[in-house]
Chains A and B, each alone.
Chain A
Amino acid sequence: MNVLWLQSAGCGGCTMSLLCAEDPNLFDTLGDAGVSFLWHPALSVETGAEVAAILKAVETGELPLDVLCVEGSIVTGPKGTGKYHMLSGTGRAMLDWVRALAPMARHVVAVGSCAAYGGITAAGGNPAGAIGLQYDGHHTGGALPDDFRSRSGLPVINVAGCPTHPAWVTETLLLLAADLMGEGDLDRYRRPRFYADHLVHHGCTKNEYYEYKASARELSELGCMMEHLGCVGTQAVGDCNIRPWNGEGSCTRGGYPCIACTSPEFEEPGHSYTETPTIAGIPVGLPSDMPKAWFMALASLSKAATPKRIDVNAHSDRIRVAPAPKREK
């Protein structure tokens, strides 16, 4: 299975993250499964005219393409021309290239939230007119129309994340190579369900603090970051705390909130990323599938029942009170 990878208007961080693939390394993970890069902007030797020839051969159908991966948003500015991003050396806007190449691919994969939905490149008034491959924020229809289907019959597969976990990308490609990914394996925003059916909350090491609503007030405190610090891990999809990042990490383990970077329009939460807005003292954005009254009742009960250990540790930068085994009491 060959893969053509284009970097559109983004930061390149999804490729940098991809290079952090382990067990085995990126090249073995893909190579051993017969996945090869037809061209990748950071990894392939071909440059300049050599690349232009590859793109042309794909566009004309002379060179069959299995997977088109696009990293980065597609910019449409200025004035709908897409000229804010010309693919260098070709005299053509990336917008134009993507529209020309996508129909030639058996599968089209948007790598990262920019390519999927517009992402951070669409923040703050969206100066460059950034959109996703097949979405513009929450709405379907992006650089490619809502009814676009690649040669396999699938819509664009949105491996959303900012950045993407290396395994989200490699496993999507491995599943495609094994013919094991169909439309039913994508969620409502067309993210692969193997990671999007989990919440960042699952496996979060702050879960005990969450249970008691023992909340951190400042970054670096150990408590749950939902009440004050903007954390939306109870609503955000991703297996970040089940299968950690870079060895043992995740945002919440690093001591800062989940900002739902796998979601459309995460770039505009409507408030500071690290502060939870409240209405009459009640945090907005409670877990999405839990009745609010029930949540509030549970929260006030659990707050009242918070053990001293959890209360002290929640407001500390390190564990100060250790769990006490029963027989020592």
Chain B
Amino acid sequence: MSERQLLVGPFNRVEGDLEIRLEVADGRVSAAYANSPLFRGFEMMLTGRDPRDALTITPRICGICSISQSAAAALALADASGAEMPEQGALAASLLHGVENLADHVTHFALFFMPDMARPAYAGRPWHARAVAEFTAQQGSVARALVEARARLFHIVGLLGGKWPHTLAIQPAGVTRTPDARDKVRIQTTLRAFRRVLEQQMFGAPLEEFVALETVAALDGWDRGAAGLFLEIAADLGLAAMGRGTGRYLSAGAYPMPEGRATRAGVWDAGEVRPFDPSEVVEDLSHAWMLGGAAHPSQGVTEPDEDMRDGAYSWCKAPRLDGRTVEVGALARQVVDGHPLALALATEAGVRARIAGRLLEIARTQIWLEDWAARLDPSARFMGTWEVPKDGAGVGLVEAARGTLGHWLSIGKGTIAGYQIVAPTTWNFSPRDADGVPGPVEAALVGAPVGAEETTPLSVQHIVRSFDPCMVCTVH
């Protein structure tokens, strides 16, 4: 039996800093440890400030999930103050958020995940020449077309929200800019242009055809666009069986609107869906460089262990739901929402399922955005009134591109008394808990093949990137 240890980093094409320590036995990963090697302390910065400042500060936790952070802060403040968005304000906020999520998925596919397929290590594979032409880092024709289209898609945020990232447009009681009819047709024009690029480059077909897929066999038969290239690669490299998760999925439900959230909230476990009860969330600190005990986020504190004690190995806390790990993200969201294709992939739960879940959500989000833009009513109110309470508490739960994001806020004497954030990648890239149970990515890496000469195993890269981690959110 051969054994060795690998330290993988700097791990790039993930958002932020990530280090993975691997134990390898007989050519396979036997144990993995995910370290988020950066601490900034946003929750500490917020304490004592005017509660409204959370709307300016929390988006700056993350430059790729900025609107998600902003939307969660606005919801937490709304929950604490009783503020409500007018219907059209909620619609505009969802448009802003949906554009970010859609852009993030496209960025992940084109810039973070696919460039690995153009690596020389895969030369000789039947699909390699096409992967090189289309997805070589900074050069690939499809990657470039998608990056250019993404920049134009963000014109919607420029118009409705001033700029991206770090807009302050989303407030607890609505949005700061009231679109007029001309803005509405501009937004629709931008969306139609983005659909054209998606259909030409990403899917090679009308989006509705991809959304209509219901079975793994139908997915296997999809051979058009970049999605077809990915599925061909997935079949050849065995990405379906690679990096399998636990198959427990959480979603808080995406895009709160007056008529309810656009996707269902819940916890999917072995075919059963149960309601998501946020009171079941506990953050375990046993393997994090954090002081204090396990606590619900409403009671939690953030106090870094300056001595970086032995036994701990990450600045990331370990959230557990009812004591167990859950996976969050596009696949989780689509599974909980009950999309047939996602349900068909729910137990496959590997690299292919995660990427396919994201592709599915790209197509569905584009269609939602078109629907919401059509529903914009320039004659309506987009902002109501609200006041900061002297005392209170609130929670804001949203779905970022990478999964469930929660802000737990308490206000005392008119300032922030406590602020705890549980980000999507905090769930997915959590370290072990007090029972020694590894976090989702740590578990998914076990069994990954490692070549004798490999120092940065390709299988490990595919698995890690299939989660689309955002480490800067994780460690806030």
User: A: which residues have CB within 8 A of B?
Assistant: 7, 9-17, 19-22, 25-27, 31, 37, 39-52, 75, 77-79, 83-90, 120-121, 123-125, 127-128, 130, 162-163, 218-220, 244-257, 259, 261, 267, 271-275, 317-318
Contacts and interface: CB of A to CB of B under 8 A. Distances in A.
Given A47-B13, A47-B461, A121 B151 contact: no
Interface string B96-118: 00000000000100011001101
B19 A88 contact: yes
Contacts of B383: 218-220, 317
Nearest to A16: B63
A131 B45 CA distance: 15
A49 B9 CA distance: 7
A22 B148 CA distance: 7
B45 A124 contact: yes
B169 A11 contact: no
B39 A249 contact: no
Query: Which of B18, B37, B107 has the most C-beta atoms of chain A within 10 angstroms of its own C-beta?
Result: B37
Given A51-B10, A89-B11, 14 more contacts: A7-B17, A9-B40, A37-B138, A40-B12, A41-B13, A42-B111, A48-B11, A84-B38, A86-B19, A163-B166, A245-B164, A247-B159, A255-B178, A256-B168
B197 to A, nearest CB: 13
Contacts, number: 268
B38 A9 contact: yes
A79 B62 CA distance: 25
In this complex, the interface size class of chain B, counting residues with CB under 8 Å from chain A, is 35 or more
A220 B150 contact: no
A255 B176 contact: yes
Interface stretch (B53-61, B202-210, B439-447): B53-61
Q: Is the interface of A mostly helix, strand, loop or mixed?
A: loop
B293 to A, nearest CB: 20
Contacts of A44: 12-13, 137-138
Interface in B182-237: none
A149 B157 CA distance: 39
B168 A254 contact: yes
A245 B437 CA distance: 45
B144 A19 contact: no
15 contacts: A9-B40, A10-B63, A11-B62, A11-B165, A20-B151, A47-B11, A48-B11, A87-B10, A88-B35, A124-B45, A128-B40, A244-B158, A255-B162, A261-B166, A272-B53
Contacts of B262: none
Contacts of B304: 78, 84, 127
Interface of B: 7-13, 15-19, 35, 37-41, 44-50, 52-53, 55-57, 60-64, 66, 107, 111-112, 115-116, 118-119, 136-139, 144, 147-148, 150-152, 154-155, 157-169, 171, 174-178, 180, 304, 306-308, 315, 378, 381-383, 385, 455-456, 461, 472
A48 B18 CA distance: 10
A174 to B, nearest CB: 17
Contact of A120 (B38, B60, B119, B151): B60
A28 to B, nearest CB: 8
Nearest to A55: B10
B155 A246 contact: yes
Contact of B151 (A10, A25, A75, A83): A25
Contacts of B381: 317
B10 A11 contact: no
Contacts of A16: 63-64, 66, 164-165
B107 A17 contact: no
A160 B10 CA distance: 26
A13 B165 contact: yes
A273 B51 CA distance: 11
B115 A45 contact: yes
Contacts of B159: 246-249
A251 B162 contact: yes
